[in-house]
Amino acid sequence: MGTQERKALEKQLRRSQILDAARMLLFSSGIDSVSISGISGKAELGVGTIYFYFKNKEEIFAALQEEGLALLYANIRQLMEKEPSPEKQLAGIAEAYYQFSEENKDYFDIINYFLSSPTVFFEPGLKHQIDMSGHKILKIIRNTITAGIETGVFKEAQPGRFSIMFWGTLHGLLHFKKLEHTVLENENHRDLYRYSVNKLIDAIRRS
């Protein structure tokens, strides 16, 4: 039915409208000062309407998180695909994550928000969707490593594990960014990050 289609489309449109408002607010004022009424104001919709399209405030954030993961995924693909060799590709992935954490700090923060919080639970369906996004990113890494193994550049018996470790190291180091001028004292964070990535690539190259 044409009518049905249009309705579905409109529904999608409203969702975007709300998400746009939420994103703008998130980026301009930080995660703590995003309120439903704020979103409703920015989106020029009633508060009740927000609740029609999203069950929760958290659901809105989850959607934003997905956006972030999608963007990160795209960035990674882009930077990685420029590179010819698995080694350079891995480095490209790491570089993409670093850039993302700086250039899309708000998305990075929101992803971390959910990852760090010991509480927050989403509905199973929602959670699955988000996990899938994380999965896709991890898969790129694993594929790159597997490809490297196949071409003989890498030697690694457990590419699945190594890819998680790789990702975990990047993640942990990015977390340390805020310690740059205190605990890490003299270390330049960027250099430290690159050093670590090289270390990891070295480790898999020779093992």
Using CB under 8 A, list all residues that contact a second copy: 30-32, 105, 109, 112-113, 115-119, 127-128, 131, 134-135, 138, 158, 160-162, 164-165, 167-173, 175-176, 178-179, 182-187, 191-192, 195-196, 199-200, 202-203, 206-207
Least Cβ distance, residue 18 to DNA (angstroms): 9
Told to check if 7 binds DNA by CB under 7 A, we report yes
204, 156 Cβ separation under 8 angstroms: yes
| 53 to 92: interface string for DNA, x by CB under 7 A | x--xxx----------------------------------
Q: 186-193 long-range CB contacts below 8 Å, 24 or more apart?
A: 190/98, 193/94, 193/98
For the window 16-45, what string marks contact with DNA as x by the rule CB under 7 A?
A: -----------------xxxxxx------x
- Contact call for residue 158 and DNA (CB under 7 A): no
- Can residue 130 be called a binding residue for DNA (CB under 7 A)? no
**10 near DNA (CB under 7 A):** yes
CA 1 from centroid of its chain's CA atoms = 37
**φ, ψ for residue 100, nearest 5 deg:** -60, -40
Are the CB atoms for 37 and 47 separated by under 8 Å? yes
Q: Nearer to a second copy by C-beta: 9 or 179?
A: 179
- Report yes or no: 25 and 34 within 8 Å, Cβ to Cβ: yes
| Token pair recorded at residue 114 | 């959910």
The three-class DSSP label of residue 184 is coil
